[in-house]
Structure 1
Amino acid sequence: MTVVQLRKDFDGPPPPPPEPPEPPADEGPAGGPITVLGQRNGTFYFFDYMGQFRELTAHQIGIKQHINALFGDRGIQWLVDQFPAFDKHGDPTGSYSVDGANRWIIREAGSMVFDGSMPSRGLGLWRAGEAVVAHLGDRICWDGEWRHPGFQAEGALWPARPPLFEVQPPAPPGDLAELEAMMRRWNWAHDGSAEVMFGLWCAGVLGASIPWRPHAFIVGEAYSGKSTLFGLLAAANPTALLVNSYTEAGIRQSLSQRASAALMDEADADEQAEAEKLQRVIGFLRLTSGGQGAQVLRGSPDGSAQRFDVVCSAIMGGILPPNFKPQDASRITRLDLRRKAADSKGLPSEVQIRDLRSRAPAFLSRALLVAPRFMEVFRVYHAALIELDGNAPRMADQLGTILAARHIMLSDRPPEAVGDDLDLVRWAIPSAEDRESEGGPRQCLHHLLHAQLDQQKGGERPVVWRTVLDAIAADAGIRDEAKRSLLNHGMRVGPYPLKDQAGAPVLYVMNQHQQLARMFAGTRWAGEKWREDLARLPGAVVPPNPIKLSTGNKIRVVVIPRALLPYPGDGGDGDQD
């Protein structure tokens, strides 16, 4: 097969793959213009004339219309040359013998039993042994050589897909530095967050060419520009999937056989049932992080098994973080976005984001060029992170991947200032207190914030966390009503201590209250055990004496710090500068 070499000194876009040569009269490429992969239980499997994966029953391979669709126009001419049809006088009809084509397919299938468990590779960057492979739909760059899709190699199928884009030369490191600089325009809660965000984006572009795929959750208060950020991340990555409403099944089906980033905005859940749906999404994403990713088998109505192979790096975003389990802390990095200051630099404009979209293929070409260096750079950061925090090797995988992906996209030199790079991610390494709280305490708070109040509002029962948002709202009417509602359910929003009117709002949770007992009924926190786990949250305070939250008796409480509460706003994203 004719190939085009992709070199490091490449100074122009590579030409598209050449058209396959016309087959001689007596034979076609690989014995014919299609590839017969084998058969199983009366079904035959192929790569058709375009390289698409096809399956036909034993009955269908004897029907002319199905054969025509399988072989295509030029393939039909090959069939005419190979298996000419004759009329009753023995003269060629200009068509082909269906029986001859049928027998040829059966002969090509021979004794090959098709392996239905073989994975299929679609759009994005992959590893195939030591090779880095870029599947761009109608062409595949295999370790620097362009090939036609529609072949079997390294234990996988490589079928054709719709063309992704016109190939561009690799972007220079300076263009990637500009993209990282754009990400600094947001008001991040921690220094280094923009660089971590850029590293996460780089990991998404690198797809399945890297052994660990990091995930992230962006907690963004209203008017923080969260949706604009998601738009930028999607525009700069031509393989990314951007959604704002989804289920586990939808993510699994949409990302199957792709090596791409999943960008999931609006990952908020009001009711407990919705929170459980989000938990299923997070549980599935957990499987996609390492190795071959999530390999899922599901039964279908006809009794056959359907396979889903998903490898992705996901970035989610919402006002309130979901209920992360202890194993999620090392797979999902949390980044916090604050409302932009009035005098801060504006976010990227729509024109700038459109420009990023036009340059996205060059960013992917850059990723393809530098991906072979990833493991060499990753080992440097991984070793440094293990030395920094030897108790969390999985965290070293997560943050080491983020740093290594960022470095190879920005530089062609080995990492030198490793200590400076580690400073960018120190805030993302959980403290011993954080790790201790990731189990029961975090889950207890999550259950409380997603519980429903008894009070009816607009025909619906409001959720605690949205009522907390209302209790911090600027509108006095909304604020006062929300505070009364929370107080009726054993909670109060206010400063700590209460007399400090300039203090940040916190959430007071009573140790005893009938409505709180109802919310926790049937859970492991029933019987007033919620106070034990809530008191173990990072930054939580247990006042030494009972507190008078309103008129009436004083009562013992646990104080939930501001950092663990949802951010004020109307729930919209408010991307104004």
Structure 2
Amino acid sequence: MTTENVDTLEFNPISAASRNGGYVALGTLGGKCVVLSNLSKNVVKLSPSDMKEMDLKTVCGADWCDDNYTYFHPKQEVMVFDLRRLATDIIRECQVKGVYVESYERKSGVWLMPDGGLAVNSRKLWRPDGTVLEHGIHAERIYSASGDIGFDLDTPAANDDEVQCVLNAFGGINWRNNLGAEMLLGWFGVAIASVAMRRRPHMLLTGAAGVGKSTALEMMKWLSGKLAYASTGPQTMAAFYQALAGTSRAVILDEFEADPSRRHSRDTLEIARMSYSLQEGDEGIVRGTPGGTARSYTFYSPFLAACINPAKFEPADVTRWVVLEAISRKPDAVALKEAEARVIGPRLARRFINRWANFQKNEAIVRKHIIDAGGDGRMADTVGVLLASYWTFVSALPATDSEAAKLVELLDIQDRIALHAITDEQRCLEAMMSKVLPFKFMDGIALVTRNLSIAEAIQRICDDPTGNLEITMRLAQLGMRVGCVQGTWRMFVANSPEHQELRKVFGGTKWASGGWSTVLRRLPGGTEGTQRIGAGFGAAKVTIFNMPADLLPANDGSALLAA
């Protein structure tokens, strides 16, 4: 028996015997030893109670065990399997390796290699250039034997007519958004190579009943085949853990309807938010196990969902999802049939991975043009990836400057910029300003009480700073003050999360228990200071920011003099 010692994860068979079998020690996980079976090419976790004769022979191979751990017992005059020695060797070598990192295992899917190219782990482990690798450890990653992913080394790439057929099928819907069909085709490319991508944009199809949303999802499900997790209706966090964690499967979710009484929308958006940018090696969601160890759940799934009533999107979600609104179905629309889609899908996947180098170039140049046109980095990461993927399908050459500029022009980027401009600080300000409360103020010679939004109350002060003392006092009770500082109208809001009146103002929002001060400081002119909110109030920490322009007085010069 020979043992090869290496510092990194490499093939480390403990026997040079001619018959196949053995194991590679990978490390420990809690109280278990983790090995790669040289016989099945699968990762196996062995607890001490699992190290029985038949179990170890199943993992390592009966012939290999006979060659290396069977000896002749002179007294009994029989061949004896040395179970204790094999179990001890496994434990010792796994302890030497240290803690096993589960994210190092790459199961079925398309994976990024250190040279920037791809490796496809399916029934075989192969690269788009035709190279076939042995299942095992390569570049410190474990490629265990996996099932069929729907296409393989012998699958021919789709031709131009097949690509156009898919585009026509997705274009059978009148989309309110430009490039709707093109971005759907681009999403398919993201679904194929999701783990290899730095960003994984999601798409939501919405519109009235009967316009073809479910048909589009069904076609995508047929095209994606075994690389898709297709479902309908609410999905729980536990379902995502079990079906998606550590995989490269894309999610196709129909009937993703908003329902405030259930958590499924929030759970789905949480997993999608993480999947957008999680990189290999990141911990993801860490949960404790009954055995007292931590388990990491990682997600790399792009989402394609459809609904009539969309769930509530936070600003972080708006920038990760592209929403396509379906207006109507075209009279001459021709959908892909299932048999046809299941043939074209694997060919499309093969075409995309063959052009992976082109996709990387397309992504860079489309990203540049989106930013040059006024978009931000997140928009380039979301819409830009979809457009780059689309161009990879339709052209054998990377996009030129003029072609990328035309794509961005067709995108109607100004609308996209306005959509991405919605931020948490704006929503927080809107939640505060739109709160309606009773205010007392002078109406002629009478003191009246009227329900006003905080924005309306502030506007009255800006229009007449000295004639609305009752409103000023009421705002102070709410933890707010309006003032003109060095010629600029400023808003002052108390910081304390224990301020009961402010907690009521933000009631029903995610700032109901505090946090508004940090978010509001991101507004123009935002800063922190120590101020008196009003007469009779002590000095306290406040957030200060510039007054929104739409609340400023019409005749700013005279108002400033009065202030």
TM-score, scaled to structure 1: 0.65
Aligned to 1:381: 366
Aligned to 2:275: 288
What amino acid is aligned across from residue 210 of structure 2 in structure 1?
Y
1:563-574 matches, within 5 Å, as: none
Post-superposition shift, 1:100?
4.2
Contact 1:132–1:209 at 8 Å: present in 2 too? no
2: CA distance between counterparts of 1:363 and 1:25? 43
Aligned to 2:86: 101
Which structure has more RCO (C-alpha within 8 Å, separation ≥ 6)? 1
Asked whether 1:225 is paired with 2:215, we answer: no
2: CA distance between counterparts of 1:40 and 1:268? 40
What amino acid is aligned across from residue 230 of structure 1 in structure 2?
L
**For residues 442 and 110 of structure 1, do their structure 2 counterparts lie closer, same or farther at Cα, with a shift above 3 Å needed?**
closer
* The one of 200, 212, 221 aligned to 2:187: 200
Asked whether 1:251 is paired with 2:240, we answer: yes
Contact 2:366–2:405 at 8 Å: present in 1 too? no
2: CA distance between counterparts of 1:53 and 1:385? 44
Contact 1:131–1:143 at 8 Å: present in 2 too? no
Aligned to 1:357: 342
Post-superposition shift, 1:290?
1.9
* The one of 82, 99, 122 aligned to 1:114: 99
1:547-558 matches, within 5 Å, as: none
Contact 2:374–2:417 at 8 Å: present in 1 too? no
1: CA distance between counterparts of 2:419 and 2:341? 41
* The one of 396, 411, 414 aligned to 1:412: 396
Post-superposition shift, 1:157?
3.0
Contact 1:210–1:374 at 8 Å: present in 2 too? no
1:386-405 matches, within 5 Å, as: 386-390=371-375, 392-405=376-389
Aligned to 1:125: 110
- Cα RMSD over matched residues? 3.4
Q: What SS is found at the alignment partner of 2:252?
A: strand
1: CA distance between counterparts of 2:355 and 2:373? 27
**For residues 148 and 98 of structure 1, do their structure 2 counterparts lie closer, same or farther at Cα, with a shift above 3 Å needed?**
same
Post-superposition shift, 1:264?
1.2
What amino acid is aligned across from residue 232 of structure 2 in structure 1?
N
1:128-277 matches, within 5 Å, as: 128-142=113-127, 144=129, 145-151=131-137, 153-165=138-150, 167=152, 168-238=155-225, 239-245=227-233, 246-270=235-259, 272-274=260-262, 276-277=263-264
What amino acid is aligned across from residue 67 of structure 2 in structure 1?
D
Contact 1:174–1:410 at 8 Å: present in 2 too? no
2: CA distance between counterparts of 1:96 and 1:427? 71
**For residues 329 and 522 of structure 1, do their structure 2 counterparts lie closer, same or farther at Cα, with a shift above 3 Å needed?**
closer
**For residues 184 and 57 of structure 1, do their structure 2 counterparts lie closer, same or farther at Cα, with a shift above 3 Å needed?**
same
Post-superposition shift, 1:525?
12
Query: Bigger radius of gyration, 1 or 2?
Result: 2
Post-superposition shift, 1:243?
1.1
Instruction: Map Cα deviations across residues 427-477 of structure 1 (whole Å, 9 max, x no partner).
Output: 684354773488539997xxxxxxxxxxxxxxxxxxxxxxxxxxxxxxxxx
**For residues 120 and 24 of structure 1, do their structure 2 counterparts lie closer, same or farther at Cα, with a shift above 3 Å needed?**
closer
2: CA distance between counterparts of 1:433 and 1:363? 32
Aligned to 2:17: 26
**For residues 424 and 250 of structure 1, do their structure 2 counterparts lie closer, same or farther at Cα, with a shift above 3 Å needed?**
farther
**For residues 372 and 399 of structure 1, do their structure 2 counterparts lie closer, same or farther at Cα, with a shift above 3 Å needed?**
same
1: CA distance between counterparts of 2:241 and 2:101? 19
* The one of 335, 338, 341 aligned to 1:348: 335
Post-superposition shift, 1:84?
2.5
2: CA distance between counterparts of 1:126 and 1:70? 26
What amino acid is aligned across from residue 390 of structure 2 in structure 1?
R
Post-superposition shift, 1:79?
1.4
2: CA distance between counterparts of 1:367 and 1:440? 40
Instruction: Map Cα deviations across residues 379-422 of structure 1 (whole Å, 9 max, x no partner).
Output: 111111111114x2210111211111111122111213223211
Instruction: Map Cα deviations across residues 98-125 of structure 1 (whole Å, 9 max, x no partner).
Output: 2343344345446221333544322222
Contact 1:132–1:368 at 8 Å: present in 2 too? no
What amino acid is aligned across from residue 219 of structure 2 in structure 1?
L
1: CA distance between counterparts of 2:165 and 2:355? 18
1: CA distance between counterparts of 2:264 and 2:102? 28
What amino acid is aligned across from residue 26 of structure 1 in structure 2?
A
Q: What SS is found at the alignment partner of 1:129?
A: coil
Q: What SS is found at the alignment partner of 1:268?
A: coil
**For residues 419 and 250 of structure 1, do their structure 2 counterparts lie closer, same or farther at Cα, with a shift above 3 Å needed?**
same
2: CA distance between counterparts of 1:425 and 1:260? 28
1: CA distance between counterparts of 2:211 and 2:35? 50
Asked whether 1:54 is paired with 2:44, we answer: yes
What amino acid is aligned across from residue 122 of structure 1 in structure 2?
K
**For residues 286 and 261 of structure 1, do their structure 2 counterparts lie closer, same or farther at Cα, with a shift above 3 Å needed?**
same
**For residues 443 and 209 of structure 1, do their structure 2 counterparts lie closer, same or farther at Cα, with a shift above 3 Å needed?**
farther
Segments of structure 1 that go 5 or more residues without pairing to the other structure are 1-22, 445-519, 527-577
What amino acid is aligned across from residue 315 of structure 2 in structure 1?
P
**For residues 434 and 37 of structure 1, do their structure 2 counterparts lie closer, same or farther at Cα, with a shift above 3 Å needed?**
closer
Instruction: Map Cα deviations across residues 463-498 of structure 1 (whole Å, 9 max, x no partner).
Output: xxxxxxxxxxxxxxxxxxxxxxxxxxxxxxxxxxxx
**For residues 395 and 165 of structure 1, do their structure 2 counterparts lie closer, same or farther at Cα, with a shift above 3 Å needed?**
closer
What amino acid is aligned across from residue 235 of structure 1 in structure 2?
W
Q: What SS is found at the alignment partner of 2:54?
A: helix
**For residues 286 and 85 of structure 1, do their structure 2 counterparts lie closer, same or farther at Cα, with a shift above 3 Å needed?**
same
Q: What SS is found at the alignment partner of 1:359?
A: helix
Post-superposition shift, 1:291?
4.8
Contact 2:204–2:306 at 8 Å: present in 1 too? yes
Identity of aligned residues (%): 19
**For residues 206 and 186 of structure 1, do their structure 2 counterparts lie closer, same or farther at Cα, with a shift above 3 Å needed?**
same
2: CA distance between counterparts of 1:220 and 1:443? 27
Post-superposition shift, 1:312?
1.8
Instruction: Map Cα deviations across residues 538-563 of structure 1 (whole Å, 9 max, x no partner).
Output: xxxxxxxxxxxxxxxxxxxxxxxxxx
Segments of structure 2 that go 5 or more residues without pairing to the other structure are 1-13, 432-504, 512-563
**For residues 422 and 136 of structure 1, do their structure 2 counterparts lie closer, same or farther at Cα, with a shift above 3 Å needed?**
same
Aligned to 2:33: 44
1: CA distance between counterparts of 2:279 and 2:242? 16
* The one of 290, 298, 305 aligned to 1:301: 290
Instruction: Map Cα deviations across residues 247-267 of structure 1 (whole Å, 9 max, x no partner).
Output: 233224311121232111111
**For residues 187 and 64 of structure 1, do their structure 2 counterparts lie closer, same or farther at Cα, with a shift above 3 Å needed?**
same
Post-superposition shift, 1:154?
4.1
TM-score, scaled to structure 2: 0.67
